[in-house]
Structure 1
Amino acid sequence: MKAAQFSQFGGPEVLEIVDIPQPHPASGQIRIAVRAAGVNASDWKKRQGLMDQELPQTMGYEAAGIVDELGEDVTGVAIGDRVFGFSGGGSAQAESAVLDYYAPIPSSLDFAAAAALPAVVETAARGLDQLGVGDGSTVLINGASGSVGSAAVQLAVARGARVVGTGSPGTHDYLRTLGAEPVAYGDQMTELVRAVAPDGVDLALDVAGSGVLPELIDLTGSPDQVITMADFSGAQEYGVRFSRGDSGRAIYALAQVGSLIESGKFSLPIGQTFPLAEVAEAHRVGESGRVRGKLVLLID
């Protein structure tokens, strides 16, 4: 089968489409004929040698497609079902992929929209869980207009929280449609947040890594009320929790987001799609930061 792979670390040009053996699911896993696969920042970090050091490496941790093989002890899914989910083996950008965790694709979504969901939904839900965001909370989301930020806004609103979201002025109308009260980031961010929330905020989630942890601590009153998903050095400096997947993942969110989508309470914009053969270009676009929304590879 065709799959995205690299045999040396470097820029997007090291990516190749190669033939590798078709995988088979182990117990509890399923295999899908991949129709779309998400592209994430972790992909180019992996390609740059910032993660695993072995070579060669295949690419991709999230995909959507049609179930074509079941592992032992798998229930609740059948050959031919449309599903989306995570490939723990990191080989989702391929014609076939084994999924460890999966959920049915909501009927209103195509494969590209479904493939964009897993990493964003899990990351956002994990951050909200670790903060304890719930009904009656007031939460500030720094970087609210990006993929993870917009997912976090919508999931927090669905939990009954009041959401204040930072973003550039051009994103404010979009943030309002998600249910957030928008404020601009920058030197006046603290004052702008206090203008809409005079008593401050209960909790803060940083998904932008823009160096605002001191301000978030000031607004919430304690580093214990702040989580960052994008500023590891800042978390160490200011005593803020850094959210990692290895501390427990919010896999349950894959199944729960479907009902929100079908009820019109959750959506995730696709920034751009590419055929699998153009995976290197997808990396270039993603690293440039020019496109808002998820990048997705399409597999025929």
Structure 2
Amino acid sequence: MQQHNGGPGSGPSRAVRLESFGGPEVLTVQDVPEPQAGDGQIRVRVTAAGLNPMDWVMTADAATAARFGLSLPAGFGTDYAGVVDQVGAGANGYTVGDRVFGAALSRAVADFVVVDTDGNIASGVAHHTPDGVDDRTAATLSIAGSTAAAALDVLDLGPQDTVLVGGAGGGVGVFAVQLARIAGARVIGTGSPSTAEYLRSLGVEPVAYGDGLTTRIRDLDVGPVTAALDLHGTDTVHAARELGVPDSRICTIATVIEGIPAANGANAAPDALEHIARLVASDRLRVPIAATFPVEDIRAAVELQAGRHVRGKVVIVL
């Protein structure tokens, strides 16, 4: 039997939409019909949506969008958190009023999102939000958390490791460095000089990125670097190789390099996000939220996030 709070024909709802591919300037908030939960689906009243680089990268042009299965008109954003307000027949494990978080590819910045209860990122996924995790934080977990978890699984870090993380202060970086610390590893993280204190607050030994990176790491006198994670490009990979890290213990997420393992959030362990959410609930992992914006200011939020200098996560509030 389908459970409802509200129902068909209850009126328009807001969603961020694109009528053409491009930058933040193509994003608009539109009134759209309320989606309805079908069999095996739940509908979530979204309260917060977290932004990720992939959101604007995959909607920048038609060719990239096609690789993700997107066509016009399209929605925007993937990470969400909110409250279940419809449960379709056969959607077991959820009831109206449950707090949930998850991912729905390029349609999360909206008042409502419908997801399959046994789906994937394309059809949408939902996880129960633990007590002690607010919706704004929960809305940042899915993409960055699963990507960081998948990368850490590749590296298999332990107390014997010193890991170099390139782009340590970014959206994935804040998860990766803390998960590495929880695994017992020593963490060296690259960033701009202005991020040094911020990285230290995450338990990271900061080092400035750019020319001379290998020399600066050696000057830290931290002993051998045993693993590396490049979250941005290739500079960290090259530095790790110069430091003697074997290719099998180097991982990328944004670049494909021959001989180097690459991580993808889709390959994270099935319970990775539940584990991360529990770490957040127990205060063992914190998610810095750099800024929150109302949905009407979506363009400004994306401009800030796309600048890649934000410390932590950017969240849209609905």
Into which bin does the TM-score normalised by the smaller protein fall? Answer: 0.7 to 0.9
Give 1:47-86 correspondences, 5 Å limit.
47-49=59-61, 50-52=64-66, 54-86=71-103
Aligned to 2:283: 264
Tell me, in whole angstroms, the C-alpha distance in 2 between the residues paired with 1:175 and 1:285: 20
> Relative to structure 1, is the Cα distance of residues 195 and 101 closer, same or farther in structure 2, using a 3 angstrom cutoff?
same
Match of 1:187 among 205, 211, 215: 211
Cα distance in structure 1, aligned partners of 2:263 and 2:309:
26
State the match for 1:109 in structure 2. Answer: 133
Question: Aligned in 2, Cα 1:162/1:289: closer, same or farther, shift over 3 Å?
Answer: closer
How much has 1:250 moved relative to structure 2?
4.0
Shift of 1:169: 2.8
Distance 1:290 1:182 in 2: 16
Q: For 1:273 and 1:153, how far apart are their aligned partners in 2?
A: 23
**1:128 aligned to which of 152, 165, 189:** 152
- Mapped to 2, the partners of 1:170 and 1:265 lie a distance apart of 25
Runs of 5+ in structure 2 lacking a partner?
Answer: 1-12, 116-123
RMSD, aligned α-carbons: 2.3
Report whether the alignment pairs 1:165 with 2:189.
yes
Q: Which moved more, 1:34-43 or 1:101-110?
A: 101-110
Picking from 210, 235, 241, the partner of 1:211 is 235
Count of aligned residue pairs for this structure pair: 293
1:244 equivalent to 2:264? Answer: yes
- Return the alpha-carbon distance in structure 1 between the equivalents of residues 316 and 280 of structure 2: 22
The aligned residue for residue 152 of structure 1 is 176
CA gap of 1:75–1:142, structure 2 versus 1, over 3 A, is: same
TM-fit CA distance, 1:4: 0.9
Question: What residue identity is the alignment partner of 1:38?
Answer: G
Cα distance in 2 for residues equivalent to 1:3 and 1:251: 29
Answer yes or no: is the 8 Å Cα contact 1:86–1:102 preserved in 2: yes
How do residues 30-49 of structure 1 correspond to structure 2 at under 5 angstroms? 30-49=42-61
- Please state how far the C-alpha of 1:29 moved relative to its aligned partner: 3.9
CA, structure 1 residues 255+244, in 2 after alignment: closer, same or farther (shift >3 Å)? Answer: closer
Percent of residue pairs identical: 39
CA contact 2:190–2:208 (8 Å) conserved in 1? yes
Q: How does 1:271-290 map to 2 (within 5 A)?
A: 271-290=290-309
Q: Structure 1: any 5+ residue segments left out of the alignment?
A: none
Taking the aligned partners of 1:71 and 1:196, their CA distance within structure 2 comes to 57
How many angstroms does 1:68 deviate by? 0.9
CA–CA separation in structure 2 for the residues paired with 1:283 and 1:173: 25
1:143 paired with 2:167, answer yes
* Cα distance, 1:96 vs structure 2: 0.4
Q: Secondary structure at the match of 2:243?
A: helix
> What is residue 118 of structure 1 aligned with on the other side?
142
Secondary structure of the 2:65 match is coil
- Aligned-pair distance for 1:11? 2.5
Deviations 1:238-263 (A, max 9, x none): x32332345x2345222111221132
2 CA distance for matches of 1:117 and 1:172?
24
Once the two structures are superposed, what CA deviation does each residue of 1:46-87 show, in whole Å capped at 9, x if it has no partner? Answer: 221222252111112110101112244444432112111111
Structure 1 pair 71/147, CA: closer, same or farther in 2 (3 Å)?
same
Cα distance in structure 2, aligned partners of 1:197 and 1:275: 46
Partner Cα distance (1:289, 1:112) in 2: 20
Please tell me whether the aligned partners of residues 228 and 240 of structure 1 are also in contact (alpha carbons under 8 angstroms).
yes
Return closer, same or farther for 1:46/1:84 CA change in 2, 3 Å cut-off. Answer: same
- Measured after TM superposition, the shift of residue 114 of structure 1 is 1.6
